[in-house]
């Protein structure tokens, strides 16, 4: 399946306004994987993250800058990631390294007793311009689909 086909199916699934279901974790992961490069050993992280997106319990995307993101796959399931309101990422000298560093979910929905770190197995850089282009194509396709759709029937008023 090509990047645009994955993106289009993701956009259709994510379009909750039209009554369609939200994209699944697997669909969202496939979308990011389609825009990820080959695995790298590490990445530099200065200061705070710009953002992060959980993709089920096996992967996540971290945004180190507005135009720099990395897909992190975990060595095993990362419990509580979906419920986390924040995360911490271990690092040494501002460098996050695959198979060495971890992500720890935090927040009120996360177990306070056993905060289990999630070992980062692979790190893949995201092609952010291509990702943004795909998102724009999805928005345009969804807008066109809404324009072509017949108007919703309104119930008669009494």
Per-residue exposure over 47-76, b if at least 16 CB sit within 10 Å of its own CB, e if not: eeeeebebbbbbbbbbbbeeeebbbbbbee
What does the pLDDT look like over 64-108, one tens digit per residue?
999 999 999 999 999 889 889 999 999 999 999 999 999 999 988
Sort strands 102-106 and 95-97 into parallel, antiparallel or unpaired: unpaired
pTM: 0.78
Neighbour-count burial of 136, counting CB atoms closer than 10 A to its CB (0-12 exposed, 13-18 middle, 19+ buried): exposed
Residue 131: what pLDDT?
A: 94
């Amino acid at each position: 399946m090509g990047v645009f086909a994955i993106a289009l199916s993701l956009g259709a699934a994510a379009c909750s306004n039209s009554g369609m279901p939200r994209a699944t974790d697997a669909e969202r992961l496939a979308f990011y994987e389609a825009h990820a490069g080959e695995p790298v050993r590490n990445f530099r992280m200065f200061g705070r993250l710009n953002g992060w997106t959980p993709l089920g319990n096996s992967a996540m995307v971290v945004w180190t800058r507005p135009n720099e993101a990395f897909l992190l796959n975990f060595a095993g399931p990362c419990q509580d990631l979906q419920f986390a309101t924040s995360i911490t990422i271990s690092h040494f000298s501002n460098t996050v390294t695959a198979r060495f560093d971890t992500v720890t979910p935090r927040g009120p929905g996360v177990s306070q007793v056993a905060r289990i770190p999630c070992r980062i197995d692979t790190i893949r850089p995201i092609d952010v311009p291509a990702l943004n282009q795909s998102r724009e194509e999805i928005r345009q396709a969804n807008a066109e689909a809404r324009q072509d759709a017949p108007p919703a029937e309104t119930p008669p008023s009494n």
